[in-house]
Structures are given as C-alpha cells and as structure tokens.
Amino acid sequence: MIETSNIRKTDELQEADFKRLSQFIYDNYGINLYPAKRILLQSRLQKRLRILGFSTYKQYCDFVLNEKSGSDEFQELVECITTNKTEFFREIKAFDFTNEIILPEYIKSATDNQLFKVWSAGASTGKEAYSIAMMLKDFSEKNQVFNFNVSASDISIEVLKIARMAIYPMDDLIEIPVNYRQKYLLKSKDKNNLRIRIVPEIREKVKFFWLNLLSEEYKLKEKFDLIYCRNTMIYFDRATQKNIVEKFVDLLNPNAYLVLGQSESLINLDVGMKQMAPSIYKKV
C-alpha cells in the first residue's frame, strides 16, 4: 500500500485493467460490465483508491485480483458495482396476482400449520420483502388458517444492514397502500428527521441473509412456495439467467411460483416453468 503522502490524483481506468476487473466481476458475480460501463466503474472505484492509498487503477486492480491480499476487498468491490434501486410495492401487478391468484390457490390445498414460504432474492434494502410481508399479513388476518414467513437475500452487506433496521425516509410513505400505513408503519416523532419504520410484527416475519446468486450451491434448507426475483436478472447474460433459474426451480415446491420483473422473461429457456401472466411463472 502506498503512503498517503505519495498519493496523486488518480488516473483513468485503462481498457486492459477494465477488462481484467470486468472479467473477474462476471466470473464471480455474473454481472456483465460492457465497455460503455468503464467510466461508471472508474467513478465508483475512486473512493476505494483514496481509502487504500492507491494512485492508479492498475495498482487497485493488481491488489484486488491478488487472492491473498485482495480477498477482503472483494466485498467492497461488490458494494461499488451493485445497483440497489428498489421501492415498496414496485410493479403492483405482481402483488395483485399474488394476492388474487396465488394465495387463494394455495390455501385450497394447504394443511393445518403449513407455512407459506417466500424468498425475495436480490432484496436490496428490504422494501420488496417487507411489502410481501405486509400483503401476506393482511391476507392472514382474513384467512386464519394461513401462516407465512419471508426469506430475503442480497449480495450487498451494506443494504442488508439497512433492511434489518427497517427504517426509511418519510417520502417512501407514498409508495405504500393507504390501508397498510396505519397497521404496519411507525412514524418518527422527530420533526427534523421524519422517517418511518416497519412494525415489529412484520419485521419478525422476515429473515435477511447474504447470498451470491452465482454460488454453485445455495445451501438453503427449505423449499419455497413463491420466489420473487425482480429486476435482478437484467444484469446477467442469458446463460447465467438459465443457471440461476434452474436453482430457483430446484428450490420451489410443486406448483409453486416465480415472479420476475416486468422487463424480464424466461422465453426460450427450458427450465420447467409455465408462464401464467407477464413475468410470472409456475413450476410444472
């Protein structure tokens, strides 16, 4: 590591080093960084260079790609490259389909004390997972035989910290249906820092954990009745998408569902799923 007194203004991320980093990112995280993303990656890495005391991107590249010295930096690199855009009840049609089709179908065949298990994969700061939990809690209040839990994963440690805290800006209130706001939200009393927090009875229904969707094996001990993986697959090429969906299928119970983002589909992917609605698939 370079002494801070020798640091000069960082240079540009050269094409050769960009290729080395982008290949490493693809191999380990499945994210395709096309040449047009070079300037974006350069910008996102500037802070890491300053913190580590490097004056060139080549030095950073050599460091992070050295397994012995760079392994602790892998997670920092992940934080730099991942996009964490999320909203409460994003793409509401998926929630409507779940509430109106999937859940009523499920309770027709469910046995006593059976848990409806959901996985939010690529959960980011937890807004999707808590949205699902609110919807399921509301359904359970109308159907007393229904019980559930939600598992939620992400590759970013930083967003998982936010998710577990379950504290969000007051502006996010507008994304949440009015009938859920009083039941499932707490409002801060600090007028100078207005925030909302998910109520404990919803938070306790959601378990967050770290997971790289490119891992060879997910090592999850349970199977699911529903998997939400929305607006995550768009960052992967088709081969990687197929590999991930095949793992999802293995973890789905018979007749269970997979919900993708509106711009994502399984067209031409032979993975044992039938399309039931746009971006919504059922295991066959």
Residue recorded with tokens 């009875």: 201
Q: Which of 38, 48, 154, 230 is catalytic?
A: 154
What is the layout of strands, in order, in the sheet containing 252-260?
206-210, 147-154, 115-121, 224-229, 252-260, 280-283, 273-277
Q: Is residue 13 within 8 Å of 40, Cβ to Cβ?
A: no
Evaluated on CA atoms 195, 200, 206, 209, the torsion sign reads positive
> 232: which residues sit within 8 A by CB, 6+ positions away?
121, 122, 213, 261
- Out of 44, 164, 195, 197, the active site residue is 44
Active site residue 44: yes
User: Is 154 assigned a catalytic role?
Assistant: yes
Q: Are 226 and 133 in contact (CB under 8 A)?
A: no
Separation of alpha carbons 257 and 104, rounded Å: 13
Would you please indicate which residues are annotated as catalytic (active-site) residues?
44, 154
